[in-house]
Amino acid sequence: MNIPSFGLGTFRLKDQTVIDSVTNALEVGYRAIDTAQIYGNEAEIGQALSASPVSRDQLFLTSKIWTDNYAADKLIPSLKDSLHKLRTDYLDLTLIHWPSPGNAVPVAEFMGALAQAQQQGLTRQIGVSNFTIALMREAIDAVGSDRIATNQIELHPYLQNKKVVAFAREHDIAITSYMTLGYGKVLQDPVVQAIAQRLQATPAQVVLAWALHSGFAVIPSSTNRAHLQSNLAAQQLQLSDADMAAMAALDRNERITSPEGLAPEWDD
C-alpha cells in the first residue's frame, strides 16, 4: 500500500485535545494518522481509534521510534509497547524519528532491527525521518532502498530541501513533508495570499496543494474541525504552472526545527 498523500499530524497534541482532533478528523474523512513515541499521545490516539466506527483496515497508522529505543534489543519491544497503546496488532508505517545522537547506535543496527520488525509483521512498511543524504545512504546500505518507504522531513515553501528530495527520488524513496505550513509563517507570505485570493482558497489550502502537486505526502495537524475539513479540501485545489513556479521561488533555506543534540549536519 502506498503512503497516503494526506494524513493527520498529532505533534504537540495531548490528552483530550488529541482524542478530539483524531475523532473529528476521522469523521470528516481522514484515514491516515501520524504519531510518535515521544509525542506521548499514542494511548489517547488508540482510545479515539477504538471508539471510531472506521475499521482498522481502512486506516493508515504511522508512528516513530524514539532515539532511546534504537538498540537492537530495545527497538522491537518498544514498538510492541506502541502497538499496545494504539490498540492495534500492526502499524502501516514505522519510522526512525531522528538520527541516533552522536551515532550512539549505528544506522545498520537500528535499520536492521526495524527490518526485523517488518518481517515479524509488526509493521507493514518502514522508513526514516530527518535523514540527510549521507544518512539515507547508510540506511540504503543496511536494508536496500526498496525497503525504505519514506523520509519524513521538514519541508515547506521556505525550506524546500531540494538536494534531499532529489536524492530520495533517485532511489524511489517517497518524501513526507512535515511543518508544511511553516508554523503558520508561510501563510502570511504575500505570494501565497495572492494565489489564495485569486483561487478563493485559504492560504493553508494553497500551501498544501503546492506540496501535493510537488509529489509530497502531507500531515498537517489541527484541533479545529472546520480547519481539518478545509485542509482536506486542498486535495481538490488546482494550481497553475505559474503558481507552482511562484511558490518554488519562495525557497530560502529557512529551517524551523533543528534541535540541539538531535539534528544531523543538514544538507544545504
pLDDT tens digits for range 166-180: 999 999 999 999 999
Would the annotation count 97 as a binding residue?
yes
Instruction: Band the pLDDT of 268: cuts 50, 70, 90.
Output: confident
Domains of the chain, by residue range, sit at 8-183+216-221
Is residue 158 annotated as a catalytic residue, yes or no? no
> 128: part of which helix (H) or strand (E)?
strand 123-129
> 46: part of which helix (H) or strand (E)?
helix 42-51
Instruction: Band the pLDDT of 30: cuts 50, 70, 90.
Output: very high
Q: Count of CB atoms within 10 A of residue 81's CB?
A: 13
Q: Catalytic: which of 39, 70, 158, 178? A: 39
Q: What CATH topology corresponds to 8-183+216-221?
A: TIM Barrel (3.20.20)
Confidence (pLDDT) at 2:
87
